[in-house]
Amino acid sequence: MVRISIVDRIHQSGFAFFHCWDVRFSRLTGRKSNTAAVAVWYRNRLLVVEQSYQCGLTLPGGHIRSNELPVSAATRELREETGVVIAAAEPFLFGRFEQRHTCLSLFECWLAREPEIRIDNREITAASFMTPDAISEPSWTLRSYLRTRRLWS
């Protein structure tokens, strides 16, 4: 079992607290959150992450900063969350999805080599490549992606 430091635990609590308040603020103001995520594939396995502030597995991704292109946000979040570096030209736009308070730009990328994954154990508590059939608790983002992908296959 991996031991989590008190500093990591404090960061995880901070992510949970601020995520909860960000969601509530968005609902109160009616503001839509612009986000980007990237589905990274290697040998028919998908890179999924577990966040410290939400249940279930999801894709690497996060908020799009002002004046940032969605593809740049997706590659930045991938690097920040997993340590995996890809060029902004590698992923292609898979689709755009809307939920009540979120607009998601979803990208897809296939890698020739399995990258080394490094997580901070603060925002991201686990990351690994999995076959889609092995994913038991997908987030809304991951569920939407896999459902749409199956329709296209």
Would you give per-residue pLDDT tens digits along the chain (153 residues)?
A: 456 677 666 655 565 555 455 555 556 666 678 899 999 999 999 999 998 878 889 999 988 999 999 999 999 999 999 999 998 788 999 999 887 778 899 999 999 999 999 998 778 899 999 999 999 899 988 998 999 888 755
- What is the C-alpha separation between 100 and 102, in angstroms, rounded? 6
19, burial (CB in 10 Å: exposed 0-12, middle 13-18, buried 19+): middle
Has this prediction a pTM greater than 0.95?
no
Decide yes or no: CATH 3.40.50.1100 for domain 6-152: no
